[in-house]
Each structure stands twice: as C-alpha cells, then as structure tokens.
Structure 1
Amino acid sequence: MTQKNYRRTIQTSAPMSEAYSALTTGIALWWTSEAGKFEKVGDVAIFGFSGKNGYWTFKAIALEPNRIEWECVEALHIHEGKPKEIETEWLGTRTIWSIAESDGGTEIQLEHQGLTPNLLCYDICEAGWDMFFVDSLKAFLDTGTGKPFIGE
C-alpha cells in the first residue's frame, strides 16, 4: 500500500502575486516569526521555534509564479517523549506549493512529499501544517493578519 503525502488546498481572495510573496519572502507573517526567506533558487533558509521544538532548514528548489518547492536539508524536530528518530524525519522531504488563479482569487495546494502517515511525527506535523497553512496562511492572505508562531 502506498503511503499518501500530506496534502491540503486553500482558497484565498488574494491575487497569485501575494500568495507567491507569502511563500517566499513573507513566511514570518504566517508560519514562524523565526523564518528565513527565499529570493532565488538555491537560497537556504532556517525556520525555528525558539529552540523548543527545533528547527528546519530548507533550500529553494523552484521559485516560479505558479510553483514553489523547498527541500529540507537539515532537521531537528524535538518532541519530548518521542523516539530520537523523530528529530530528522523531515530530512530530504519536499514541500511543493502549487498556486493557481481561482474564482477571482487564488488556490494554493501544499503537498509535503515524504510526510506520510508512517512517520513518527505525522500526527504532530499534520496538525501543525493544518494550523499554519490551512488557518494562518489563509488568514494572512485574506485579511493581512496571520497567526504565526511568535518566539519568546
């Protein structure tokens, strides 16, 4: 049986250009205030959570108006009470953001390739992406105010 990657889609009233900016240079406004940014393919950015739950480092693989792809090149996902293997489960995974015009706004699909239900972190990460992508990014694009993690 093939394990399915995490995948969600949101609809927003924002234009594609704003969605692209939010996923490249505005990540701190909806995911974590401790976020890097991507301005060109090959850029590497760190996304942290005040050392509490670790950090992830991503490399920009594709930065196109309708498709953005990041590859996780370093991972330290800390969760007390979970096996040590959880720390690097995102290593080598890829987030692929597909952006398309839709009903006067924009549709964004996130597929996190490699984030599958067989991973120790899946339930935690699914809930995290649902909170930050489905809720916070959508709120940011629709209202200008996201709900990112704010470090101490």
Structure 2
Amino acid sequence: METKTSDFTSTILVNETPETVFNAINNVSGWWSEEIEGVTNKQNGEFLYHYKDVHICKLKVVALVANTKVVWLVLDNHFSFTKDKKEWKGTTINFEIKKVGKQTELRFTHVGLSPAYECYTICEEAWTKYIQESLYGLITTGEGMPNAKEGGFNQELVEKHLTPSN
C-alpha cells in the first residue's frame, strides 16, 4: 500500500527488459511530446518541452544511470492557466527501473508536485496518461501517444516565459 506524499507517483510493470524501459524513457518525443528540443539522453543535457501556449518547461538531465534511473530537474516552467506561472520550477522528475521477478517495474515520481499546486489535478491526470498509457505503449509495443508536433517551437513564447540560462 502506498502512502500519500507531497509527490506524484505512478508505477507500471512490463514484460520487457530494464534496457528497453530505460531507452523508452529517454525517447521523450516518443511518449511525452513530439515538441521536444534539446538533449534528453545524456547527463547534464538540457531540453525544452512545449505544449501550445499552455505549458513551456526547461529541464536538465541530472542523473542517468543505465537501465536503472533517470532524473530531470525542472530549471524553469511556465503554465498559462495558473496564478503561479512557474509551479514546477525546482522540482525533479524521477524514473526508477528495477527487475521484479521476470518483469521490469518503472516507478515514476514527480518530486515536489504537491496537491497544494493549482495545476495538481490537471498534472496528475496528464502524468497518469503519459506514464500508464503513452510510455507503457512505447515500452510494450514501440508506439507511444505523445502530443503531436505543432510546427516547431514558438521561440518568442520561450523567450518571453523562460529565464535564459546563465
């Protein structure tokens, strides 16, 4: 039984190897959004996630342990639908992979995604869909359900809403 914390967690169990799960996680445009720009599969890589003018997020890969763990730090964030436009900033998104018998468990935790956040209900629903359906599908069938490409990043939105790196 899982206890309720201030983090959001979603777990899936698949009949695939830890390597397959690890590779799928790092194929971010294959399960989260085709609108990913930057490096998602290397230590210290930085990338942007973008969904219309609704959500822009800058992330950094802060841990990458082959077939075991992936951790992203949210460097900057902008939601168009919340009072606090930067609600995710400073949170981490963790993927922990381990063998459980003949299966592989993926435990996804968005550390710091708290029910106190205005975006929590929407974010909880979205992460559940992305992990339980899209990433699960990418791992098990090779086909995820990422957000469709919108014709490229709107650089003006990115510059307007995200603080430039120093």
Contact kept, 8 Å, 2:59 with 2:76, in 1: the verdict is yes
- Separation (CA, whole Å) in 2 of partners of 1:98 and 1:71: 15
Q: How many residues align?
A: 145
Which runs of 5 or more residues in structure 1 are unaligned? none
Q: Determine the structure 2 residue equivalent to 1:75.
A: 77
Larger Rg computed on CA atoms: 2
**Normalised by the size of structure 1, how large is the TM-score?**
0.88
Q: Which one-letter code corresponds to 2:31 in the other structure? A: W
Q: Determine the structure 1 residue equivalent to 2:64.
A: 63
Deviation at 1:3, TM superposition (A): 4.9
Q: Determine the structure 2 residue equivalent to 1:130.
A: 128
Backbone CA RMSD of aligned residues: 1.5
Q: Which one-letter code corresponds to 1:91 in the other structure? A: K
Q: Residues 3-152 of structure 1 correspond to what in structure 2 (within 5 A)?
A: 3-24=5-26, 26-36=27-37, 37-49=39-51, 51-65=52-66, 66-79=68-81, 82-83=82-83, 85=84, 87-152=85-150
- Separation (CA, whole Å) in 2 of partners of 1:77 and 1:117: 16
Structure 1 residue runs of 4+, over 6 Å off?
none
Identity across matched positions, percent? 24
**Normalised by the size of structure 2, how large is the TM-score?**
0.81
The 3-state SS of whatever aligns with 1:40 is: coil
